[in-house]
Amino acid sequence: MPQLTQSRFIDTLSGQISRPVPIWMMRQAGRHLPEYLELRAQAKDFLDFCYSPSMAAEATLQPIRRYGMDAAILFADILLILDVLGLDVKFEKGVGPIVQKVETADDLKTVTIEKAVQRLSPVYETVDRVRGSLDSDKALIGFCGAPWTVALYAIEGRGGTDKSQARIWAYQKPDTLQDLLNVLIEASAHYLKAQVDAGANALMIFESWAEGLPSNLMDSLVIGPNARLVARLRELGVTVPVIGFPRGGATKLPDYVKSVPINGVGLDTAVDPAFVNETLPKDIAVQGHLDPLLLIAGGKMMEDRVVEILEAYRDRPHVFNLGHGVTPQASIANVERVVQIIREWS
């Protein structure tokens, strides 16, 4: 297996300022690529795709081949952990994920965490295959959904909701919700450790649904559980860098960074770079910002915004990324242009 030797991406997460600025994009492997669509058509459904190491590894590698990104991110889904913990998880075209609802944390205890983590062995095989195919200067990112985000799907039963059911749980059944979060913390920690054991060089925790939470719930549902998850990872002996992404965390972002022992933080589209530089420690790596819709629009506004973000973070560790994932409508030519600008900027 080719091991990672020198990586601008890992150096940046270690607190160094790298030139050129390393780049990868959330959802860089996916529906905007014709080669992905061709590959996806070979799987009977999305879960089959995720659990097929040959296809998942190929999907992970496709954007590296096309764009030369500095890091690949494992092709999987944040809801696989619910699937192996015993819930019925489906992905319906045009609808998204449909998840069997839970009533208590015991609904996730019908399968032991050890057995659940073992059931994810196809994912670890994917990691091994990708690490074996990547050049030694390209990093591989493993990931999981953050406890609150994953719990929300289990409570609401699907995506695309107003999140009210899960928030009402937080008010009416706070102890039950914390029990559920604790199960997910333990399962996710072991899942991430297994990814690292298989060859992942860094980890990312996707807190996709931090947006809109009151400050007190942000503390109890996002910041506290994320901190416990990272602490548990370190207890398990995981030493690779960790990126946290509290999407929509707004003014609680400094509290998140202060309390969660991460090496880098993902920034959503709405965060102001000036706010980031004023409130976050200068040694923590930042990643994100660019509006994914600019990859559709292209042109001068896209190019100017790329340079604006690069200039804003000139004096701190910075990984270039998006504020959310690449959309299916993104232009390949626009992605290529963004990469070119970053490679040429100094």
What CATH number does residue 136 fall under? Answer: 3.20.20.210
- Tell me if 1 is assigned to some domain: no
Told to judge if 234 belongs to the known catalytic residues of this protein, a careful annotator would answer: no
- Tell me if 228 is assigned to some domain: yes
- Tell me if 21 is assigned to some domain: yes
Confidence (pLDDT) at 51: 98
Q: Kindly give the confidence (pLDDT) of every residue in the chain, 346 residues in length, as a single tens digit, with 9 standing for 90 and above.
A: 567 888 999 999 999 999 999 999 999 999 999 999 999 999 999 999 999 999 999 999 999 999 999 999 999 999 999 999 999 999 988 788 999 999 999 999 999 999 999 999 999 999 999 999 999 999 999 999 999 999 999 999 988 788 899 999 999 999 999 999 999 999 999 999 999 999 999 999 999 999 999 999 999 999 999 999 999 999 999 999 999 999 999 899 999 999 999 999 999 999 999 999 999 999 999 999 999 999 999 999 999 999 999 999 999 999 999 999 999 999 999 999 999 999 999 8
Options 124, 153, 256, 313, the catalytic residue: 153
Told to judge if 153 belongs to the known catalytic residues of this protein, a careful annotator would answer: yes
Decide: 195 and 78 in contact? Cβ < 8 Å.
no
Angle at 13 (CA atoms; ends 237, 128), nearest 5 degrees: 55
Options 40, 119, 305, 337, the catalytic residue: 40
Options 8, 36, 70, 77, the catalytic residue: 77
Told to judge if 191 belongs to the known catalytic residues of this protein, a careful annotator would answer: no
Options 31, 66, 228, 305, the catalytic residue: 31
Provide CB contacts within 8 A for 305, sequence distance 6+.
Answer: 290, 291, 294
- Tell me if 3 is assigned to some domain: no
Confidence (pLDDT) at 161: 83
Told to judge if 31 belongs to the known catalytic residues of this protein, a careful annotator would answer: yes
Query: Quick one: which of 260, 315, 317, 240 has its CA closest to 283?
Result: 317
The amino acid sitting at 82 is L
In terms of residue numbers, what domain contains 85? Answer: 8-344
Provide CB contacts within 8 A for 300, sequence distance 6+.
Answer: none
- Tell me if 277 is assigned to some domain: yes
- Tell me if 118 is assigned to some domain: yes
Spatial separation of the C-alpha atoms in residues 293 and 327, rounded to whole Å: 8
Instruction: Provide the β-strand partners of residue 91.
Output: 97
Told to judge if 40 belongs to the known catalytic residues of this protein, a careful annotator would answer: yes
Options 27, 167, 232, 316, the catalytic residue: 27
Provide CB contacts within 8 A for 323, sequence distance 6+.
Answer: 267, 268, 269, 270, 271, 288, 289, 290, 291, 292
Confidence (pLDDT) at 225: 98
Number of folded domains in the chain? 1
Burial annotation 272-302 (CB, 10 A radius, 16+ → b, else e)? eeeebeeebeeebbbbbbbbbebbbebeeeb
DSSP assignment letter at 158: B
Provide CB contacts within 8 A for 47, sequence distance 6+.
Answer: 80, 83, 89, 90, 91
- Tell me if 2 is assigned to some domain: no
Decide: 102 and 204 in contact? Cβ < 8 Å.
no
State the angle between helix axes of 53-67 and 121-133 in degrees (0 to 180), rounded to the nearest 10.
Answer: 30
Provide CB contacts within 8 A for 132, sequence distance 6+.
Answer: 1, 2, 199
